[in-house]
Structure 1
Amino acid sequence: MTGESEVTALAQRWRIAVADIGFVPMSMRELDRLLARLVERIIAAATTEPFDPADAAEVGAALVRANLTDPRVLTRSAVALTPLTEIVAPHGDRMVAVFGELSRGYTETLLSARAHDQEMLHTAMAEARHAAEVRFRVMFDNAAVAIGIGDTAGRVVDVNPALSAMLGLPGRRLRGRPVAELVHPDDRDHMRERVYGELLASGSGTIRLELRYLLPDGGSGWAAWAITLVPASGGRAAYLLVVGEDTTQRRALQAELHRQARHDPLTGLPNRRQLVDALSRIIAEARTGDRVGLGFIDLDGFKTINDTYGHGVGDRLLTAVAERLAAHARGAMLARIGGDEFVVLFAPPCDSVRMAHIVETMLNALSDPIGVDDHLLRVTACIGAVVTPVANADAERLLDAADAGLYRAKAAGPNRWVLHGVDVTAGAFPGST
């Protein structure tokens, strides 16, 4: 059971990490109580059996509802909640999935709220067609979102200050320019198809699309655009009303979340999810006769090092071990799948000679002591390796085969390796070779 004081302390740590990057319409004490409830909900999501991390999505949604909508909230939350991995032990390995669901709930709720705001803006803009020009001009010039007006020939008629700031050019340099010149070359055909082949052809309506825009320095950004065709009226020609929201930071955040979901946060190595995905791709692309190599690596006596020197030293040792092993993987993928366990994956072509050579090299890489803080630590490993046909195989069965080889190596004593040939496609697990 997690103590109340432990939850309270973690909630305060969380509040300190995020409270200064947004306006939260509640007192510090109220925010502490809210975050304490969310910490308890995260712990429940990680420890409840059967395991289902989906409930953590509501935690992310609650952060948005508390007005914590700065893109840095998720990154700071991840750092502040790091102690949860040990608090929920032995379920610490579930925290990646739990935080992934939290991030999903946060992102979906934030996008929904912004979409609602944008819809409200479009409603206001439609009403502005019938309002006085001066009232429209006030909204146009002072809106926080990017707004532009274009003619049906594809040229910029006017831009507001927010759009001018987004594109990095003053309004006088934007008016009269072809819209296509402001769009990334790779997105221009898509823009023309949607605007001219769809919106203008229909004669009315609104389309939504996400395109890259160009910056004066040669760079680019992303923005979500809502483009409305305003029909001709009272002698005024039809025009396009464009409302944009810069999504560059959101896309960067999503890319970072994707990277975090596929990498071990301690060593930076691929995690089990990325390993299985890579193995599945190899299987899907394999031809008859292609063979894959897999090696399960488990450090000898790592628990003793943790117990003797503490988890901080243990973590830094794991990072150093990962660097040594990766330096000798020679074109293979090295992944950390949890604790002191690593897996090395060799794509085809692979044979027993190559696998044995690399396995020996990786074991030898650990022969020299590793300096961690003021300690000079020696660590050895056992490796269970397999070389097997890969066409039509199953990724999890291949990993199971290598894992079985690891247990045989561990049984033989420390600093050993076992290489055995299997044919997972035939369902056989023969002995070592």
Structure 2
Amino acid sequence: MTHNREFADLARQWRIAVADTGFVPMPMRELDRLLTGFLTRLAAAAVAEPVGVIDAADVGAELVRANLTDPQVLSRSFTALAPLAEIVAPHTDRLLDVLGALSRGYTEELLATRGRHLEMLHTATAEARNAAEIRFRVVFDNTTVAIGICDAEGRVVDANPALRAMLGLPLARLRGRPVADLVHPDDRGELHSRIAGELMAAGEGTLRLELRYAHDDGGEGWAAWAVTLVPESAARAAYLLIVGEDTTQRRALQTELHRQARHDPLTGLPNRRQLIDTMAELIDAAAPGDRIGLGFLDLDGFKAVNDTHGHGTGDRLLTAVATRLARHAEPELLARVGGDEFVVLFPPPCDIHRVSVVAERLLEAVAEPIPVDGLLLSISACLGAVVTAVSGTDAEHLLDAADTGLYRAKAAGPNRWVLHTPRADVRPVAVAENTVLD
């Protein structure tokens, strides 16, 4: 594909979105060229067969190597890259896999980079224990990682500026307090017991764990703590060296990436991955006799909207439809699983009446004209549904059964839905005679 000008313009917008998140060691023109290359690779990955997730992950890693490491980089990038959907059309749906791979590559490289930095700090700290006091103080006072020193009884003797800032306490209020006071009150028991049971019992070693901390203003955060028992020597008594790296932002980033991996970026609805995971959990927890419902809904005439009004209008129409469907599907789970395809999940207990009521509501909701970009767009939908015993089934078979019903509903005409009734003596994917309702 040839989109050189489009890529150059989009790269400039991407650079504007992320350049102020940190120091980038290159001129802006060079960064534009770098991002243009990334866009070319992402577009190629979206149209490749199979999808080029490895190359997309490499692009994510290279963003980190370009020093774009602020947690805002990913969210700003996803916003800036939205126009890429039109460039790679008709492969727009595959762009989600590409952006997901980019997120994974970015996160893995970011965590690896931070791990290397932390390892360098641990090495420097170990050297400082055996070096002159002045050399240790340079590291102690200037590092951004929290460091505390406690005596052999576990009482705080000293705390560097980073630790004092993390806890919001001056040194005078930290000195003499038990080491467990450095972490959140709910985690103090675990820290105390592990220091006593693992370090003190052995007389040496390092304990690593991730626990919360509490700021003096009432806020909370997370930190990765390394607690080392330094044995006594001829020149000094034994002491505890505590090193803490604030992991609050990293955990927030991981949580956001987890959310993004399980939600559709356009509509915000759960995606196919979350739907499958939720169904698997329901199947695992099902009791004998529990029944589950599944409805596979597809819009009629959506391609004509894209062809007539453009993909931007089509995307806004999909967002409006998703909002309506979610409102009328409550409290059931609604997911977007493809371009104009949605699935509604009915957890146990479920029966045909419950599915029919919701199916009628959804078709009526879609049929009502939808205002988009000053237009009043009219579309309809078809829905295939299945109600079956959940024990002993699997998610993919249930989706296949509902999907088959969808195709039969579409064959019957717009604004229709078809209900599959599985035979009791066969697997749930087999169906009895269809029930078709307007």
Cα offset for 1:196? 2.4
Task: Read off the aligned partner of 2:157 and give its amino acid letter.
Answer: V
Partner of 1:336: 336
1:294-305, aligned counterparts within 5 Å? 294-305=294-305
RMSD of equivalent CA atoms: 1.9
Residue 32 and residue 420 in structure 1: after superposition, are their counterparts in 2 closer, same or farther (change >3 A)?
same
Where does structure 1 differ by over 6 angstroms across 4 or more consecutive aligned residues?
Answer: none
Cα offset for 1:54? 2.5
Residue 152 and residue 47 in structure 1: after superposition, are their counterparts in 2 closer, same or farther (change >3 A)?
farther
Residue pair 1:401, 1:422 contacting (<8 A) in 2 also: no
Q: Distance in 2 between matches of 1:427 and 1:328?
A: 27
Partner of 1:119: 119
Cα offset for 1:101? 2.1
Task: Read off the aligned partner of 2:434 and give its amino acid letter.
Answer: S
Partner of 2:190: 190
Q: Distance in 2 between matches of 1:192 and 1:86?
A: 57
Task: Read off the aligned partner of 1:47 and give its amino acid letter.
Answer: V
Residue pair 1:85, 1:95 contacting (<8 A) in 2 also: yes
Cα offset for 1:427? 4.8
Question: Could you report, residue by residue, the CA deviation over 1:200-221 in whole angstroms, capped at 9, with x for unpaired residues?
Answer: 3222232322111012233310
Q: Distance in 1 between matches of 2:345 and 2:274?
A: 11
Cα offset for 1:367? 4.1
Residue pair 1:390, 1:425 contacting (<8 A) in 2 also: no
Cα offset for 1:159? 0.7
Partner of 1:132: 132
Partner of 1:7: 7
Partner of 1:59: 59
Cα offset for 1:70? 1.4
Partner of 2:414: 414
Task: Read off the aligned partner of 1:174 and give its amino acid letter.
Answer: L
Residue pair 2:384, 2:409 contacting (<8 A) in 1 also: yes
Cα offset for 1:358? 1.5
Task: Read off the aligned partner of 1:214 and give its amino acid letter.
Answer: A
Cα offset for 1:131? 2.7
Query: Alignment length, in residue pairs?
Result: 433
Residue 426 and residue 412 in structure 1: after superposition, are their counterparts in 2 closer, same or farther (change >3 A)?
closer
Partner of 2:181: 181
Task: Read off the aligned partner of 1:280 and give its amino acid letter.
Answer: A
1:27-426, aligned counterparts within 5 Å? 27-422=27-422, 425=427
Segments of 5+ residues of structure 1 without an aligned counterpart are none
Cα offset for 1:308? 2.8
Task: Read off the aligned partner of 2:13 and give its amino acid letter.
Answer: R
Q: Distance in 2 between matches of 1:62 and 1:418?
A: 49
Residue pair 1:225, 1:244 contacting (<8 A) in 2 also: yes
Segments of 5+ residues of structure 2 without an aligned counterpart are none
Question: Could you report, residue by residue, the CA deviation over 1:336-380 in whole angstroms, capped at 9, with x for unpaired residues?
Answer: 112221111101111112111221122222343222232222232
Residue 273 and residue 241 in structure 1: after superposition, are their counterparts in 2 closer, same or farther (change >3 A)?
same
Residue pair 1:299, 1:341 contacting (<8 A) in 2 also: yes
Q: Which moved more, 1:361-370 or 1:282-291?
A: 361-370
For the residue of structure 1 that corresponds to 2:6, the secondary structure is helix
Cα offset for 1:52? 4.6
Question: Could you report, residue by residue, the CA deviation over 1:63-84 in whole angstroms, capped at 9, with x for unpaired residues?
Answer: 1211111111111111122222
For the residue of structure 1 that corresponds to 2:135, the secondary structure is helix
For the residue of structure 2 that corresponds to 1:232, the secondary structure is coil
Residue pair 1:2, 1:87 contacting (<8 A) in 2 also: no
Q: Which moved more, 1:247-256 or 1:413-422?
A: 413-422
Q: What's the TM-score once normalised by structure 2's chain length?
A: 0.93
Question: Could you report, residue by residue, the CA deviation over 1:381-414 in whole angstroms, capped at 9, with x for unpaired residues?
Answer: 1111111111111211110111111111111111
